[in-house]
Amino acid sequence: MAGSSPGRARALAAEHGCAWHETARELLARPDLDAVCVCVPSGLHAEIGEAALRAGKHVLVEKPLEVGLEAADRLLAAARSTGRTLGVVLQHRFDPAARYLYDSVRAGALGTLTSGHAEVAWWRSQGYYDSGQWRGTARLDGGGAVMNQGVHTLDLLQWVMGEAVEVSARTALLAHRGIDVEDTAAAVVRFASGALATVLATTAAYPGRTARLAVHGDRGSAVLDDDRMAYFHTRAEGESGEAYGAYGAGDRSAALPLRHDAERDPTGMPAAPHRDQLADFCDAVEQGRPPAVSGEEARRSLALTLALYESARTGRTVRPDGPGAP
């Protein structure tokens, strides 16, 4: 283990029974080290990740992949040239409810997708932003409520609904001071299928609500709330809906074969998805296959996030950049 705050890094290493090194260079020089997890500020992911890849290590990077596409593409290129595995922590793809929704959409259970809504109405105190010099900075945080907090739900939205082709957005800084990124953002996204979705991300919704993803089609609807399936209904054989709809009735989520993880980490997030993603990454390294959330996959949500920011900056509708060149 290595970190920029030696005292904290040494204490964490001792807590977990790990060796501690003063610098990343020393850590990466170890011949008995196969893989590293990069948990530095977002704007340093490419710098540290590329060094690890070129040292022959497999790399799992915390979200987001980077704060810009040029840096992200350098990291992807390094993984290709070294033949090492590169994964990105977007653990909510491993939530049982999210995977069930993804599989249901791919199986056509919701019919033709028509609309969606991604909402992250959270609260972060001023003390949160003041706790680290990198927090709330464009250079190292890359953005605010969207890039740092909302990226997980935005990633799920695109994962489930398919390729995003246009985004129109507005951002604002309304409830915090001394930061140069947004604490509130709203957007409309159009997908290649023609479906539309709205996005709300904020760290200024006191005292903080849950993250929510709704997906609707002409044969069914589903809602994820707080990592669980809060609503699920698909049209049964021979079923015809009421002319004016069910107004929220007909929920069948309780009957779905889903496990719910009761264990939570100190932030309130479920622990199992992190473990499942780490296990998938290790399996990918051993089996020589891409991890479930590869660098290329994570680049898609980064491109959508950056397109949202560009739209807010220019007032124009923006097309997200496509996947990096092979």
pLDDT at 276: 95
Written as six digits, the tokens of 124 are 């972060």
**Side chain identity at residue 2, one-letter code:** A
pLDDT at 310: 96
Enumerate the active-site residues.
63
pLDDT category of residue 271 using cuts at 50, 70 and 90: confident
Which residues have C-beta within 8 Å of that of residue 263, sequence separation ≥ 6?
A: 270, 271, 272
Residue 324, pLDDT > 50, answer no
Mean pLDDT, residues 145-171: 97
Q: How open is the CA angle 101-107-109, to the nearest 5 degrees? A: 70
pLDDT at 318: 97
pTM over 0.75: yes
Instruction: Please state the length of the chain.
Output: 326
First to last CA, the chain: 32
Per-residue pLDDT reduced to its tens digit, 243-269: 888 888 999 999 999 877 777 776 666
pLDDT at 245: 85
Written as six digits, the tokens of 127 are 């003390």
Written as six digits, the tokens of 78 are 């390094």
pLDDT at 24: 87
Range of weakest confidence among 15-29, 93-107, 221-235: 15-29
Per-residue pLDDT reduced to its tens digit, 86-128: 999 999 999 999 999 999 999 999 999 999 999 999 999 999 9
Mean pLDDT, residues 55-84: 97
pLDDT at 212: 98
Distance separating alpha carbons of residues 82 and 28, to the nearest angstrom: 15
Average pLDDT score over the chain: 93
Residue 275, pLDDT > 60, answer yes
Mean pLDDT, residues 191-220: 98
Q: How open is the CA angle 278-304-114, to the nearest 5 degrees? A: 100
Residue 62, pLDDT > 90, answer yes
